[in-house]
Amino acid sequence: MDRLSLDEEHYTRQEEWRRQLPESLGDGLRQGLSRLGISLLGAIAGIVDQPMQNFQRTWETQGSAGSKAKGVISGVGKGIVGVFTKPIGGAAELVSQTGYGILHGAGLWQLPKQLYLPSEEKSSQAPNSHVKYVWKMLQSLGRPEVHMALEVTIVSGSGQEHAGCLLLTGEVLFVVSLSEDTQQQAFPITEVDCHQEPGQDGLLNLSLRQHRVTSDTETYRYLVEPAFARVFVSKFTMVKNKALRIGFH
């Protein structure tokens, strides 16, 4: 009914008060009667207030005489509608608040309790989603499918560390720099091996065979949570076997 009154200020005020739930029968009656009284006063005052507000808006926007008259007539119509809808809404609010007070006082209804404190996180610090990688970096693959996106710490040959991400797709393993938000490397799945460092579960090694004839390999290292590293190695093995047509897929 508050929406049907066509009075945005009245509706906003009622919504704010509606959040203040009563804790007893007396509290419910007090809140319900006060809101019913305000609704009755608002219904009477709206007949004059609504036309004045519309006239003031058209005056500030320097509208024509016709638009001013139209605004006044529209305000009168809103005021007349509010005469009927606001008291009905106030009566319904009285019944609602009284009912809440009775239930709460009898112990049949309890307000929900907050279990955890709210936590704030800046959007700039949020992790990248799979959709971003697909739209921004993987369009060249045609039909890219991201099997896993693992945030890691890239360890360079000189020992420097910076944040990165390993993108495991069905054909290529991408290395993305989070600080630069760009792709750094791309390895064909069939030409690399991925395994955890023996004795260091948090260290992920990626070995690339440089030449098919020789056995020379180049190794890249990444720091990651041990549990995530095991999952990534398992998924990498599954994707590589599928690419090599090994096993049942």
The pLDDT tens digits for 161-202 are 888 899 888 888 989 888 887 888 888 888 899 888 888 888
**What number is the average pLDDT over the span 126-147?**
74
Bigger pLDDT: 211 or 227?
A: 227
In order of 40, 47, 77, 81, 244, the CA distances from 68 in angstroms are: 28, 17, 14, 20, 77
- Shortest CA distance to 80 belongs to which of 37, 45, 34, 39? 45
- Say what the pLDDT of residue 223 is: 92
Q: In the chain, what is the straight-line distance between the N-terminal and C-terminal CA atoms, in Å? A: 60
Q: Which fold has domain 125-243?
A: PH-domain like (2.30.29)
Digit-coded pLDDT (tens) for 22-59:
777 777 778 778 877 877 777 777 777 777 776 676 76
C-alpha 123/C-alpha 147 separation (Å) is: 24
Decide: 22 and 31 in contact? Cβ < 8 Å: yes
| Mean pLDDT of all residues belonging to the chain | 79
Decide: 54 and 14 in contact? Cβ < 8 Å: no
The number of C-alpha atoms within 13 Å of 33 and in the hemisphere containing its C-beta is 6
Burial 47-86 (b: 16+ CB within 10 A, else e): eebbbebbbeebeeeeeeeeebeebbeebbebbebbbebb
Q: In what order do the strands lie in the sheet with 192-197?
A: 182-188, 172-177, 161-169, 146-155, 217-223, 200-209, 192-197
Identify the helix (H) or strand (E) that includes residue 97.
Answer: helix 65-105
Residue 245 — φ and ψ, nearest 5°?
A: 60, 45
Q: Count of CB atoms within 10 A of residue 246's CB?
A: 10
Whose tokens are 């398992």? That residue is 234
Q: Hey, what amino acid is at 94? A: L
| Range scoring the smallest mean pLDDT among 133-137, 156-160, 219-223 | 133-137
